Structure 1
Amino acid sequence: MKFTRVFAFMALAGLAGSAYATNGYFSHGYGMKAKGMAGAATTNTDDAFGGANNPAAMAFAGNRFDLGVDLFSPRREATMSNPMSTVTVKSDSNYFLIPEFGYTHQMNSDLALGVTVVGNGGMNTDYPAFANGYNMLGGQGRLGIDLMQLIVAPTAAYKITPNHSIGISPLIGYQRFRAEGMADPSTFPPAPTPIPNKGYDDSFGYGVRVGYLGKITPTVTIGAAYASKMNFERFKKYNWLFLENGDFDIPENYNLGASWQATSALKLALDYQRINYSGVKAVGAPPTQGGFGYDDVNVWKLGAEYKLNSAWTLRAGYSHTNNPIKGASAADCGAGSENCMEVTTNILAPAVIKDHATLGFTYTLASGNELTMAYMHAFKNDVSGYNAMSTGTDTIRMYQDSLGIQYSWKM
């Protein structure tokens, strides 16, 4: 446990400020090859990120070490409009470096062992205070929250036949959270009472991911992976913010995928991912019950890979998901809608992205090692909803860009 804590803090030195909020608080992909194809990686066998995508794929990955880093730039803002005024505030802290790595080793012709380490996150905002010292939600000073998550996935993959494999990845998680500038809405009117800042709190968690991969024809590969909910220790400093006495878990999720080697140069991949936010009350319960109101999401990912020549491989992708955050009108709130105040609550975490477009490439060096890059643009989206406290309308919006680079050693 001491080693795990030291390792977590070393990794979080690079993950500090983690702000992935692309599909809720999941990244659009893990590993630069996946990110270049909008995350369509369930059947990808040429990197060591199976612990985050599909553990069974690592049975075909050979011996390799992949080390990458993303420069991630989310742009978040919120608008509060009522009969008296309209104000828009943009969140600061717009650039983050987020590393990831994977290693796999072929123990024999059937068994591979390895490890994948990735960052997760997404609930990150940093809104400046108004001139009078108060912020958008009635607290004092800067307003925002910061969630950082590290997932370590030791992985074992085994070929049950020459073309079919299964895999398992125990998931070890570490997370750190901070909120500042908060206020107690129950004291409004006349005005919310500011809550003193508590600083960072952290916790460890665990779960498991299992997967299957099958090369059913020489040109068609299918795969599936399932990850249980990662159960974390409670945030003791924030038992007033998160339901179930400070419990904040990573939700259950699963993905299905298929790829088709259309020609010797062109491969197409399609993934479906389901993220069950409703299983984590802190994010899935409606604001009327103390949660953030996230809906479960369905993510579709389409990717293409084209081998231009022996050195260059090009990639592109597009993904779409339903919005986990819904808005509600004044009439809906009057009828007791569970979506009432959902937009206001998620000023703290405006995870409203629905669509991503990606590009990428790999350059293979004479040594056989690889240099991979990936670019992602998440298109601007906004959601509006009624604010019963101000009798006005709140709007949250966000768009994102990221540029990542990865170097891979083949051994």
Structure 2
Amino acid sequence: MIKKSLLLFSFFIVFYTAAFPQDGTRAIDYNTRSTGRGGVSIGFFDNPSTMLTNPAGMSFIRKPVLNANAIFMVPITHFKNYVKDANGNTTATVLNDADGDKMLYVMPSLSYVHNFKDSKFTLGAGVFTTGGMGTEGKFKHQLFANPSFSTNYQEQVYRSRFAIIESVISGSFLITPQFSVGVTGEFVYSTLELSQPFSLPPSFLKGNLMTSMGMTTYAKYFSDPKPVGLGYKELTAFAEMTNLKSYTFGGKIGFAYKCSDKFSVGASYTLSVPLNYKNGSATMDMSSQFSEASGVAAQNLVNVYHISLDSAAKLVAALFAANGINPYAGFVANYDVNNEFKTPQSAGLGFMYSPMPKLRLGFDFEWLNWSKAFEKMTLTLTNGTNSNINKMLVNGTPGSDALIVEFPMKWKDAIILKFGGEYDISKVLTLRAGYSYSQNPIPEETIIPIMPAILEHHIMTGCSYDLIKQLTLDMTLEYGLKNTVTGTNPHQVATEYNNSESSLQNLLGHISLTYMF
């Protein structure tokens, strides 16, 4: 049987390697059985995923057990924002009011717990997709318009892929027949990809610019009020980051007390894990932004000197050419990119109470320290390949300092409350139901459509059925109720998000097979 288990585990790793990019928001729990009762798991000790929620609970799993689990998720996103006027002010005219693409994400896991006969030690191992985010949609951006039709906006891809996969080894020790302590060591592998229009203030342009009025900087030229400058408060490029990978380690500790079959309690603590993504690739396309800026510069000359627009455009082209800007080199740059942020530390407390035979009720409380983990993303770009962009930015070019961008997130700490129960209809059938409430951690000033992890209310129902004496099938349906967050004005990420609305609802199906040896 051990040989068969190893073969099954090897097959799962092959499948898992292909499946891990299909990520989603953080799961309520990592096992179908626990999710069916609202995700209550810290004080329930009845399946191998306890090594992720409270490893001490493994001591009360009396037989070796193997579990294969999968979560199938379809997030439904919606984005609405508004047109800006010529001065950059947000109007009441709708620009986007559209759903994102509906996509299926699969989050598999495989875990095994071995309880040694006549020993106080219990060991466990597993591979879990523990979290992430994934959205994709095509939305309009005012900068990217057909030159012949100023309101014929070209849709841009807004896309995120963020996955966290953990390979874990756990151990628990039964100090007394009722009290256990456990630890889990984690090898954490994470991937990150982002695509969207990306805005920065003109102050990032460190290059010098010689004009008819003397030496200045690109930053000053682009930001000074018209007609002396171009009057920009932000500059936008279409940006894409791919192949970012992080390898690191984490851990957790848990305590479990099982007073009797009627009452048990557990507590756990999880370390924050640094995610230092290395050796990624980034592409930054400033073609549309530079084209628009050239048009603004030409219009400035028309307004001041009353010349034709064609003559003004030629003067602007000559100005940039004199400063080494070559239009034939284009405005698309490739970079090497690194990225840094963290997963949150967390702490939890859970209870199980059985008021009558066949009925078990549970409650979990969790605290997630998002405020320290997701304060910002630090992007480091080096080895820029485009000569025109290099002249304007300076930083990020070969032989110069890196271009460092601190992307604001400013997530807030969150409390999660989980309630649920289960009832044994017969010896082979158990029904479950539950509810989970989680505070939305994303503030209005940084909410964006590619990171809409804003769900607050989840409802679940599920069941277990013993296919044979040793093999149990678990199934759960989960619905994350729609939540909408309205961005502030001004918004801290980009003006396109001023007064914008980002919405998310989630449909999930969970299924698992559990084999008791």
Q: Could you tell me the TM-score, scaled by structure 1's length?
A: 0.85
Aligned to 2:201: 186
SS in 1 for 2:186: strand
Please point out which of 231, 234, 257 is paired with 2:350. 257
Note the C-alpha offset of 1:142. Answer: 0.9
Q: Which moved more, 1:276-285 or 1:70-79?
A: 276-285
Aligned to 1:45: 45
Q: How does 1:272-351 map to 2 (within 5 A)?
A: 272-283=365-376, 290-327=407-444, 341-343=445-447, 346-351=448-453
How many pairs does the alignment contain?
Answer: 380
Aligned to 1:108: 117
Q: Which moved more, 1:302-311 or 1:387-396?
A: 387-396
Q: Aligned AA for 1:280?
A: A
Aligned to 1:89: 98
Aligned to 2:244: 201
Note the C-alpha offset of 1:47. Answer: 1.0
Note the C-alpha offset of 1:39. Answer: 0.9
Q: Aligned AA for 1:378?
A: G
CA–CA separation in structure 1 for the residues paired with 2:195 and 2:14: 22
1:154 lines up with 2:169 in the alignment = yes
CA–CA separation in structure 2 for the residues paired with 1:8 and 1:396: 35
Note the C-alpha offset of 1:122. Answer: 3.3
Structure 1 unaligned regions, length at least 5:
1-6, 328-340
Seen in structure 2, the aligned counterparts of structure 1 residues 283 and 33 have a Cα distance that, compared at 3 Å, is farther
CA–CA separation in structure 2 for the residues paired with 1:196 and 1:227: 34
Aligned to 2:27: 27
Q: Aligned AA for 1:18?
A: D
Seen in structure 2, the aligned counterparts of structure 1 residues 183 and 28 have a Cα distance that, compared at 3 Å, is same
Please point out which of 395, 404, 408 is paired with 2:510. 404
Q: Which moved more, 1:115-124 or 1:367-376?
A: 115-124
CA–CA separation in structure 2 for the residues paired with 1:75 and 1:283: 26
Seen in structure 2, the aligned counterparts of structure 1 residues 399 and 409 have a Cα distance that, compared at 3 Å, is same
CA–CA separation in structure 1 for the residues paired with 2:439 and 2:138: 30
Note the C-alpha offset of 1:258. Answer: 0.7
Note the C-alpha offset of 1:88. Answer: 1.5
Note the C-alpha offset of 1:380. Answer: 0.5
1:173 lines up with 2:188 in the alignment = yes
CA–CA separation in structure 2 for the residues paired with 1:215 and 1:156: 17
Q: How does 1:122-141 map to 2 (within 5 A)?
A: 122-130=132-140, 134=144, 141=156
Note the C-alpha offset of 1:202. Answer: 0.6
Q: Which moved more, 1:372-381 or 1:191-200?
A: 191-200
Higher-Rg member (1/2): 2
1:120 lines up with 2:222 in the alignment = no
Seen in structure 2, the aligned counterparts of structure 1 residues 238 and 318 have a Cα distance that, compared at 3 Å, is farther
Structure 2 unaligned regions, length at least 5:
1-11, 83-89, 146-152, 203-230, 285-336, 379-404
CA–CA separation in structure 1 for the residues paired with 2:18 and 2:497: 42
Aligned to 1:331: none
CA–CA separation in structure 2 for the residues paired with 1:254 and 1:9: 33
Note the C-alpha offset of 1:173. Answer: 0.4
CA–CA separation in structure 2 for the residues paired with 1:88 and 1:164: 55
Seen in structure 2, the aligned counterparts of structure 1 residues 166 and 58 have a Cα distance that, compared at 3 Å, is same
Note the C-alpha offset of 1:291. Answer: 2.4
CA–CA separation in structure 2 for the residues paired with 1:294 and 1:123: 15
Note the C-alpha offset of 1:201. Answer: 1.1
Please point out which of 325, 330, 339 is paired with 1:246. 339
Note the C-alpha offset of 1:374. Answer: 0.8
1:355-404 per-residue CA deviation (whole Å, 9 max, x = no partner) reads: 00000110013332100001100111111122432594111111101011
Note the C-alpha offset of 1:313. Answer: 0.7
Give the root-mean-square deviation of aligned CA atoms: 2.9
CA–CA separation in structure 2 for the residues paired with 1:342 and 1:54: 33
Note the C-alpha offset of 1:178. Answer: 0.7
Of all paired residues, the percent bearing the same amino acid is 20
1:181-237 per-residue CA deviation (whole Å, 9 max, x = no partner) reads: 332332593763314423221111111111011012441100001110112333453
Please say if residues 141 and 155 of structure 2, whose CA atoms lie closer than 8 Å, have aligned partners that are also in contact.
Answer: no
Q: Aligned AA for 2:56?
A: A
Seen in structure 2, the aligned counterparts of structure 1 residues 191 and 68 have a Cα distance that, compared at 3 Å, is same
1:98-126 per-residue CA deviation (whole Å, 9 max, x = no partner) reads: 11121011123321111132213333221
Note the C-alpha offset of 1:161. Answer: 0.9
